Structure 1
């Protein structure tokens, strides 16, 4: 019975030794894997630093571009307001021209009768002048004819 006990202890010691060897091998393999992961993480960290620097530069450029766009937008706003003011002025000017045109048309309509009367009176005056000149010429020619008759007698 004692032999069985010694054999059992020896068997347990051998099993424990085999277990330690397998665990040692597994841990060494795990150590190699962790070393590889550590190197990969170092590479990723360096790449991330580069990306971070590029991102910072890109963010600065984006901020500068946003500021530039804001300034140009404000400038454009003043231009748009100026154009709007010009449009308002042109609209008011058109309204004023329409009012002036309406007033002129109204005055022409009111003056038509007066103009017509002036034209009629002008025609009457011209006819009277023509008749007066014709009578004057007739008197002059009658006087000359009488003077010629008197000389011939």
Structure 2
């Protein structure tokens, strides 16, 4: 019976030794895997640092661009304001000219009879003056010594 006990202990020792060997191999493999993961994480960390720097630079450039656009937009606002004032001024001038021309047309219609009479009297006066000149020439021809 003692032999069975020694054999059992020996079998347990061999099983334990085999278990230790396999656990040792598994731990060694796990150690290599974790080393690879650590290298990968280091590389990833470096890449993330680069991406972070580039993102920060891009953000700064975007902010500068937004400020530039804002400044130029404010400059254009003053130009558009000036153009609008010019348009308002031209509209006012156009309205004033229209009012004046309407008044002139109305006054012209109201005074057209008077103007017509003045033109008729002027024509009559010119006819009388022409007849007077013609008569004077005839009188001068007849009174001239021959």
Alignment of 1:1-153 (within 5 A): 1-129=1-129
Q: Which runs of 5+ in 1 are unaligned?
A: 145-153
**TM-score normalised per structure 2:** 0.83
**Residue-by-residue CA offset, 1:9-38 (whole Å, 9 max, x unaligned):** 221111111011000000001001111111
In terms of Rg, which structure is larger? Answer: 1
Structure 2: which 5+ residue stretches go unaligned? Answer: none
User: So what's the TM-score if we normalise by structure 1?
Assistant: 0.80
The Cα shift of 1:119 comes to: 1.7
Between the two proteins, the alignment pairs up a number of residues equal to 142
After TM superposition, the structure 1 stretch with the greater mean CA deviation from structure 2, 129-138 or 58-67, is 129-138
Quick one: distance in 2 between partners of 1:115 and 1:56? 84
